[in-house]
A = this chain, B = another copy of it.
Amino acid sequence: MISKTIFEDLVSDLQRVNRLKTALELLEWDEQVNLPSGSGERRAQEMAALSEIVHRECTQERLAHWLDELEAGLNGNSEEADVGTEKLTVIREARRNYDRAVKLSPTFVARKTALNSRAYHAWVEARQKGDFEIFAPFLQKQLEMAKEESGRVGYSEETAYDYHIDKHDPGLTATFVDEIFSSLKIDLLPLVKRIVDSPVKPDTTIFKGFPRDGQESFLKQVAVKIGFDFSRGRIDTSVHPFCSGNGADTRMTTRYNIDNPLDAIFSTIHETGHGLYEQGLPLEHLGTGLSEAIGMAMHESQSRMWENQVSRSRSFWQYWEPVLRETFPTQLADVSSRELFSAINAVSLTPIRVDSDEVTYNLHIILRFELEKKLFSGELTVAELPEAWNSASEEIIGLRPKNMAEGCLQDVHWSGGAFGYFPSYCLGNMIAAQLWYRVKEVYPDIDEDFAKGEFGRLLNWLRENVHRRGRQYGTLELTRLVTGQELSPQGLIRYLEERYLPLYT
């Protein structure tokens, strides 16, 4: 049996350390939302100092003792049910985090945090000036540190990339991703070709002069209606939209383009999807595996479902189109409902991932996955990256970027040291489609809700089946449990065909 007191000590310490972690996350949020241009170096130093502390707190010896004791108690207990899945989850996740953290030194962690913060500012400048050389030395160091990190944790040189995939999606490997992406490509490439070659060409340039204030108030209504709780969260603007924080204080960001309101609409709904997941995790367990998202693929499945399955549907716009027209009566006067819906579901090739539609988006991910694999295997050097990116873009997407900002400098992720993150987006798309078909089985008339501006049934279903479970199950396990099927590209392909072929033939 496991000791109640030790378990309580463990949880209380995990909660305390989690408060330090979320303090660190607030510094990162502030860095991207508020930081004055000349304060970057100071922030890098602050984050380095705090991350060193967080690391030290995560690797205290007493944690090892507590975990040893608790695990010994578990081993003596053949009836898992007696312990409870919840306790098992807390202990398992604490062990995983401890074992990984303890293999990294505090100075390594501080060095990495400071590097990432400096690299972010270098990337912003490099992207602005279209000059890869400004960012290259940082990326080089980040790649080296990423490899060093996987080595320290115990991965071989050959499996270094696996570690970074596992970091974002525990349990997954590069081989798994490779297989599933290969399978996806078989059906996706011809589908993209059919759509792109179709004579139907939606006009996405019909939007002009949508003031930011109007976009903001419209999107605030949408976010509230789909269930985001602004008493425990907020939305700001940043260069690259993101969602950070936790269920007690969820910080989302978006960005506004006055000549393309769809950008803010789908970015905001996407981040709101992430925010809903965070707000749906059981708050009382914050700091333990019970209140942590399963991984980034599951996180993306939430953001992508709200962004795509829900918000690009006819029924969604039945409710929201009148509200949008009320907000922008003159700007939309000459835009018909058909044109609006057609622009919302426009599919076309673009060199930029965040500008891409939900069909071709997956190609962008495959491109990045291929390049990351090669960067980790050594087949590709940082210096060769710009050209390799452009060639891969031509080959996979069918477009050659005109400049670095359209090419290998377009994404923020690497500048934050986040390798192995991109696959999560595409896996998230697959999970979203699978969950969506399950929802439609349970509630065949769910679309009717959206047409009435009601989203509670969907949100509650996601809360029950995904959010409230925290990390009790892994990505593959939960997908299987909830949808009755293995994670695969089939649902995504079916969904894309069902939604887009009627529009493009």
Contacts and interface: CB of A to CB of B under 8 A. Distances in A.
A35 interface: yes
A43 B249 CA distance: 9
A413 interface: no
Interface stretch (A23-31, A91-99, A262-270): A23-31
A19 B39 contact: no
A34 interface: yes
Interface in A30-49: 30, 34-39, 41-43, 45-49
A46 B34 contact: no
A229 interface: yes
A491 B124 CA distance: 51
Contact of A23 (B27, B38, B41, B248): B27
Contacts of A16: 49
Counting contact residues on chain A (CB < 8 A from B), the size range is 35 or more
Interface in A1-38: 16-17, 19-20, 22-24, 26-27, 30, 34-38
A23 B36 contact: no
Tell me the interface secondary structure of chain A in the complex. helix
Interface stretch (A144-152, A158-166, A231-239, A492-500): A231-239
Nearest to A287: B45
A22 B38 contact: no
Contact of A19 (B17, B38, B45, B233): B45
A443 interface: no
Contacts of A38: 229, 231-232
A53 interface: yes
Contact of A53 (B20, B46, B232, B246): B20
Interface of A: 16-17, 19-20, 22-24, 26-27, 30, 34-39, 41-43, 45-50, 53, 57, 229-234, 246, 248-249
